[in-house]
Amino acid sequence: MIIKPRIRGFLCTTAHPAGCARDVENQIRHVESGSVRGEGPKNVLIIGASGGYGLASRISAAFGYGASTVGVFFERPASGNRTASPGWYKTAAFTEAAKAKGHYAANINGDAYSEEIKQATCDVIERDLGQVDLVIYSLAAPARQMPDGEVVRSTLKPVGEPFEGRTIDFNTGVMRDVSLEPASDEEVADTIKVMGGEDWELWIHALKERGLLAPGCITTNYTYLGSEVTWSIYHHGTIGRAKEDLDRARKALVEPLAEVGGSAYVAVMKGLVTQAASAIPGMSIYLSLLFKAMKDAGTHEGCIEQTTRLFDTQLYGGGELRTDDEGRIRMDELELAPDIQTFVADKWAMVDESNLDSLADFSGYRQAFLGLHGFNIEGTDYEADVELEVDIDLAAGGD
Ligand code: NAD
């Protein structure tokens, strides 16, 4: 079948298997082109392993350090004329490339919030690896099913004050106003349940109870702070409250991890186009301006550059960590550089439909969004007939 992007709002409902595979190949190439590395992770569990920062972390660990990886994700295989989700195709490509290099890779497709998937993952680790020395938590989910069956949803809303902003229609480039009423207390609490630190803690406790955390085990979770121009919707909004909860969870993990000589970190990553980020109102304008400024300055990075730098210079760099007052590892220093943020702030009110591609880099944003789904990836033949069904050997979970 010949597959084209089909876009509805901020969602693309198709994915291209060959483009997704090439995207993974490009990420692997970036990691392998890095300088010689010292000691790194050996056995890694990645929760949220099939997209954005989680997939990039998996690639950095496997191809930068030769690590064995266990990836947990929630993806959809192809069925009938419907393509698989991009994370399915990317995981298939990752697994094939990892195995070809002799790196162990096990995949678990299912709801990471559930006790069943936690225990199934522990079974795989116990059977095949014994223990893990790095646990990356990189889940971004719209909803969480609680143990009693109740489904709670995260919302992207301001807290305390209404939000008035603008967003860009991805297909047409038309800008429109967005206004959002402040979240209720319940919406804030629910967003914290979905995107806060509780599930991260549950994972670490589950692994520890089964004796699966290796001595000196490290765990990291990813957060975003970003620029003041997005604070009203992000940092000071519902999602920002959930991210604050990661700092609480990190502190709560210090004691249990100390028993195995381990440590927990929250790493502040750069703003990038991922499935989760594309849903945030106003983010498209911010990222278009940010891409313009960072590309012009030669400091632009994608997920793979960020996670590889995190591993090489921070987690396994051997030197002192670059942390802030909250103890968070800062990987967003290039995004927050004064010249970059001055550019964004100065241009923020000036961006309109006529200058999206001169003042800002909307086409770069668009390219990155399509790239998430395996489209517009250089070297891919989009006129070729491709097979929609691609298999992944699942160690647990189902499809
Ligand atoms: P993403 O949407 O690209 O990936 C999310 C991952 O979570 C996928 O592997 C998906 O399969 C998995 N997932 C979702 N629900 C699941 C479930 N119920 N069970 C199992 N797996 C599930 O997200 P991302 O943007 O890479 O975000 C990852 C983390 O990085 C988040 O904590 C996010 O806040 C943080 N972060 C993102 C940015 C950004 O700009 N994108 C910046 C800084 C930090």
Predicted local confidence at residue 275, as pLDDT = 77
- Give the per-residue pLDDT at 399: 78
CATH label of the domain that carries residue 38:
3.40.50.720
Q: Which residue has better confidence, 399 or 366? A: 366
Tokens of 266: 């929250």
Grade residue 139 by pLDDT with cuts at 50, 70 and 90: very high
**pLDDT attached to residue 274:** 84
The residue whose CB lies within 8 Å of the most ligand 1 atoms, and thus the one to mutate among 73, 144, 194, is 73
Burial 310-326 (b: 16+ CB within 10 A, else e): bbbebbbeeeeeeeeee
| Nearest CA owner, ligand 1 atom 14 | 141
Say which residue, 382 or 275, is predicted with more confidence.
Answer: 382
Cβ neighbours for 227, distance < 8 A, ≥ 6 positions apart: 271, 286, 290, 335, 336, 341, 344, 345
225 domain residue, yes or no? yes
The mean pLDDT value for 51-73 works out to 98
Choose the weakest-confidence range: 169-173, 330-334, 388-392.
169-173
Q: How far is the CA of 138 from the centre of ligand 1 (A)?
A: 5
In the predicted structure, residue 378 carries a pLDDT above the cut 80: yes
The CA distance from 398 to 74, in Å, is 10
Q: Residues 20-48: what's their mean pLDDT?
A: 96
List Cα–Cα distances, 289 to 229, 286, 304, in angstroms: 11, 5, 21
pLDDT tens figures, 192-245: 999 999 999 999 999 999 999 999 999 999 999 999 888 988 899 999 999 999
- The residue-averaged pLDDT of 141-170 equals 93
> What is the total count of domains within the chain?
1
Mean per-residue pLDDT for 126-138? Answer: 98
| Span 367-376, pLDDT tens digits | 999 999 999 9
Question: What local confidence, expressed as pLDDT, does residue 280 receive?
Answer: 84
- Domain assignment present for residue 70? The answer is yes
Looking at residues 356-363, what average pLDDT do you find? 94
Residues 128, 323: Cα–Cα separation, whole Å? 34
Residue-range definition of the domain harbouring residue 30: 7-143+187-277+301-332+372-397
Instruction: For ligand 1, atom 28, name the residue with the nearest CA.
Output: 138
Mean pLDDT of the residues in the chain: 95
- 115 pLDDT band (50/70/90 cuts)? very high
Whether 234 sits among the annotated catalytic residues: the reply is yes
Tokens 């409250």, residue located? 241
What per-residue confidence (pLDDT) applies to 19? 98
Q: Which of 27, 60, 89, 138 to mutate to test the pocket of ligand 1 (most atoms within 8 A of CB)?
A: 138
Q: 286 in a domain, yes or no?
A: no
Around ligand 1, the residues with Cβ closer than 6 Å are 48-54, 72-75, 87, 111-113, 138-141, 222-224, 269, 271-272, 274-277
Residue 116: pLDDT over 80: yes
Among the listed residues 65, 89, 137, 234, the single catalytic one is: 234
Let me know if residue 165 belongs to a domain: no
Measure Cα distances from 127 to 51, 70, 131, 158 in Å: 26, 12, 9, 45
- Would you place residue 359 in the very low, low, confident or very high pLDDT band (cuts 50, 70, 90)? very high
Nearest CA to ligand 1 atom 26: 52
Whether residue 224 is contained in a domain is answered as yes
In a domain, 154, yes or no: no
Q: How far is CA 293 from CA 183, 339, 370, in A?
A: 32, 9, 21
Q: Are 46 and 58 in contact (CB under 8 A)?
A: yes
pLDDT per position as a tens digit, 275-330:
777 778 888 899 999 999 999 999 999 999 999 999 999 999 999 999 999 999 99
Query: Considering the domain boundaries, does residue 358 fall inside one?
Result: no
Kindly state whether residue 292 falls inside one of the protein's structural domains.
no
Distance (Å, rounded) from C-alpha 32 to C-alpha 34?
5
